[in-house]
Each structure stands twice: as C-alpha cells, then as structure tokens.
Amino acid sequence: MRTSRYTPAPAPNKGVRPERPRFNLDEISLLDILEKLLAGLKRVLVALHYRLLHFRPGGRGLPWFKIALAALLVWMALKRDMQFQINLKKPGAETTVLNGFIPEDSPKQLVSQPAPAAPKKGLGAELLGPRDPFADATGDTDEDRRNKNYIRRFKEVAQTEMEKFGIPASVKMAQALIESQAGTSKLATKNNNHFGIKCFSKSCKKGHCSNFSDDHHKDFFRIYSSAWESWRSHSYLVTQGKYKKLLSYGKDYKAWAHGLKELGYATDPHYDKKIIEYIDRYDLQVLDK
C-alpha cells in the first residue's frame, strides 16, 4: 500500500484554547486580505490533492504547475490594480475628498471657506497687492465682523449709486450701517428698509408701508421688495428736496455728515459724529476712490 508523504498536523491539547493573533484593523489592506485568501486556498488545494491520492492510489496528479502559474498571475493583477485601503473605522469618523470633490451630503462646515486674511505689512507686502480693509482680521469683535460682512455685501451697490447720483459711497455705507444695524434691525429684516426711510403719503396702498414704534406711534416706514430697492430710494431722497444741496460738498464725507445732521435726517444729536466714526473706523473712504 502506497503511503503519503503528507502527515496531518498534531491535534491541539484539549482544554487549551489557542491564542488568536491580534491585528490592527486600521492598517489591514485589501491586498493583505487577498494574500491570506490565496494562502488559505493553497492549503485547501493541498488537502484536496492529499484526499485524491488517498482514495485513488496510483492516480494521476493534478497539474499543479498550471494551477500555481494561474494563481500567480491573478495575484499580480490584483496587486497592481487594487491599491486602495479598506477603512474599518467607525462610519462618519472621517470625510473623504477625492480629487477636490466633496460629497453633497458632507456637513456644510466642511465645504465652507474662511474669509481671506488681510496681507501683512512689511517685507514683500508690495508683492501681495493692496490690503483689503474690509477683510476679517485678528482681533475683530463680533460687531466688526458683522459690519465688514455688510460692507462686502453692499460695497459695489454703494459705488454704483455714487457714480449715478453723486452721493459719496462712504457716507451712504455709513448711514446704512447705522440705520439698519448692518442689516440686522427689525426695519431691515421686515421691510427691507436699510435707511430708515419714512412714508409721508396720506393714501398708501396695502403693503406700501408699516408702523414701527420708533420716534412716534404714528411713524410709518416704507416697505421695499428688496434691499437694493431701499438703496435706490435713498439715492432719490438725498438728491431731491432739501438734501440736494449736499451734492455741492463732493466727496467731503465730514461735510456731508454735518449737513445730514443739520437738515434733520435723524433725531440723534450725534448723528454726524457716528457717520464720521464709522467711516474712519472701517476706512470707508476707500469706496469713494
């Protein structure tokens, strides 16, 4: 009787549980898994070969060289093409960005972009271009960031109105910041009224104005369909009637501020000082150039 050169592995000691090897799941790759699968497949084939020889003495052996060659070719193909890692960590622990693409279901804070910091002064500053006075900067308060955000939003509108009507963009922007509290006041959010423009009509249509308990219980303020419409209405107001003579001041924002106060644009006795303070604080005179 023909004896096999293969001998079974010795049985483990009864009552002793073999210690399983520990793996770092975060570092296991698909290639490692495939290699282990191929090794296990090889053991299965060897066991099958042993069984065939055991039940078929003198039988013809399997074409092991061809099987090994095919397995080697498959392994090489998988090694070349499969280069990605299997992430076995908790789902949602990381966000994957492929070639700059961010999934649509990613949290909004991951795709949001911070405001660019203003270029530093000093060596090489001329290479970075002019400093943006309206960019968020270190040390800004919440009020500063809110005001700068408003300035960035409406600066082009202010400059367009200046070119068309002659009102300094710095003065117009300062008034809007004061009257609308940078777009957060009730009048701005409810009525789209950014300049505190009142309604003096005695026969208003529905939706033309609304009452606010500001200076007097009978004060009615205009309602606008958009913030831009409010900016344009302010331009008409200033360039017509009693405010028209302020156009002779050109771009002298201090003269404009004093003139608006004297002509009673607002009841605040320090209205002119506030306008000048806002312009100087945020370099709004840059908008007049």
Strand partners, 85: 29
How far is Cα 63 from Cα 84, in angstroms, rounded to an integer? 34
The pLDDT value given to residue 262: 96
Tell me which residue of 114, 120, 174, 112 sits closest to 147, measured CA to CA: 174
User: 115 falls in which pLDDT band (50, 70, 90)?
Assistant: very low
- In the chain the domains, ranked by start, together with CATH numbers, are 25-81 (no CATH), 138-198+225-288 (1.10.530.10)
Residue 75: C-alpha distances to residues 34, 48, 85, 97, 132 (Å): 8, 21, 17, 29, 58
Query: Considering the chain, what percentage of its residues have pLDDT values greater than 90?
Result: 45
How far is Cα 49 from Cα 269, in angstroms, rounded to an integer? 103
Per residue in 243-263, pLDDT tens? 999 999 999 999 999 999 999
Q: Are 20 and 12 in contact (CB under 8 A)?
A: no
Q: Which of 30-44, 110-124, 129-143 has the lowest mean pLDDT?
A: 110-124
